[in-house]
Amino acid sequence: MEAAPAARAALPVRRRTRLAVALLAAATTALAGVTVTAHAAVPPPPSGWSLVWSDDFTGAAGTLPSSANWIIDTGTSYPGGPPNWGTGEIQTYTNSTANVSHDGAGNLRITPLRDGAGRWTSARIETVRSNFKPPSGGVLAIEGRIQMPNVTGAQALGYWPAFWALGSPYRGNYQNWPGIGEFDVMENVNGLNSVWGVLHCGVAPGGPCNEFNGIGASRACPGSTCQSAFHTYRFEWDAAASPQQLRWYVDGQLYHTVTQTQVGEPYWTQMTGHAGYFLLLNVAMGGGFPNGVAGFTTPTASTVPGHPMLVDYVAVYSRGGGTTPPPTDPPGSVRDAYATIQAESFNAQNGVIVEACSEGGQNIGALRNGDWVRFDNVDFGTTPPRDFVARVASGAGAGVSGLVEVRLDSPTSAPIGSFAIANTGGWQSWRSVPGNVSGVTGRRTVYLTFSSGQPNDFVNVNWFTFRR
């Protein structure tokens, strides 16, 4: 879904007293007219992986996606950017809930519409966060569970749903594509039962990524068609491999790989050496890609509006490496209470250390009675949570245990929720433990506090989140 000002032809088919470095574990990667279902939650990361950021789209029906997580693009270009978003697409993006909203069943809907005068509208959103990249020497995974617009044949001509990522230097510049890099995790056009994975890089036209086409591959969705069911689309940037690799999957099946050697220098460093990437979801209508595949201009009079792309969740995971990716919630930002909050992204702390985590990234540790961490601007919205979940580990000795507590606005206020924790099998032996919380709404300062009847360290924390 490149932002280049040219059409694309059809693509080819701690411890205070213990070591503060953990062992890094290894892991492998494994609607109109239809009833759709969403997963109850973002899948927990496999062993060795850590959840960096996610959105499960559990908002009430008819509401916009979280402004803490997403920016809604509007119009026909970025200010000063190439017209028609650089691709020749013909729709106008809006922030209307008719074009983008939660469906109340755990999905986000992005719906293209056409008015009586033949004018198309749709939606495009991008993450507030723009620093997604692997930890040094580790792996980053970008994943979404998505059902493409359920429309095929002549009625689908011009539909162009996409899930993709752009290099952060593009924001505010809009003229530095493709050098800053673009990873198309999922693209589809014209209702075909095919997913395209594409890398854009270097210079245009030509260059190491054969612009304006990019380096792409495609395949049919496994089992059911891309349009008739949800499928999981995943992209991995493997900075642990030598040379580094970029990999594309659908439902866990690898179908496209690009290596650092294929791209070469200085282009690889240009697209990987900056702060990271932001993610985008959109449904365009018409433009270079659907026109190139069809062999004529789309959409046509036969194209039927109103078929949404459904997004169950979007998640970013990491594993390995010697350092952590930037915190999920940079200090000063608004934090979504229902997204994963990395424990090491605290705004203030008392008695806490940060150390390497066996699940990737970092965790907080050396937690004992009286210690706390503070998280500012946590937004609970208008519907209170039912509980919270924390990812914890403990190597505490026999008879040593304590409470992980949630407090609001002060580390000495009454807890609104807690759970008890004792030895889990080791300081890097992780488990997810829930605890009930009393009702809270709006934007609050959240403290995790740690209480115990003994003076010993009793718990580590990797991340936590609230659930409704």
> Do 49-320 and 335-467 come out as alike in CATH topology?
yes
Q: Is the pLDDT of residue 133 over 90?
A: yes
pLDDT at 439: 86
pLDDT at 325: 42
- State the Cα torsion 238-242-248-254 to the nearest 10°: -120
23 band by pLDDT with thresholds 50, 70 and 90 = very low
CB 78 within 8 A of CB 67: no
- Give the integer Cα–Cα distance in Å for 449 and 348: 12
Query: Side-chain half-sphere of 238: how many Cα atoms within 13 Å?
Result: 19
With tokens 């642990």, the residue in question is 240
CB 358 within 8 A of CB 396: no
201-210: pLDDT as tens digits: 999 999 999 9
Strand partners, 234: 143, 249
Cis peptide before 289 (omega within 30 of 0): no
158-204: pLDDT as tens digits: 999 999 999 999 998 999 999 999 999 999 999 999 999 999 999 99
Lookup: tokens for 63: 């509401």
Fold classified for 335-467:
Jelly Rolls (2.60.120)
Q: Is the pLDDT of residue 13 over 60?
A: no
Q: Is the pLDDT of residue 107 over 70?
A: yes
Mean pLDDT of the 363-370 span: 92
12 band by pLDDT with thresholds 50, 70 and 90 = very low
pLDDT at 322: 56
422-441: pLDDT as tens digits: 999 999 999 999 999 998 99
- pTM of the predicted protein model: 0.66
Q: Which CATH code fits 49-320?
A: 2.60.120.200
> Would you kindly state where each structural domain of the chain is located, as residue ranges?
49-320, 335-467
Q: Cα 274 to the chain's mean position, in Å?
A: 18
Distances (CA, A) of 299 to 7, 161, 188, 289, 446: 15, 14, 14, 12, 49
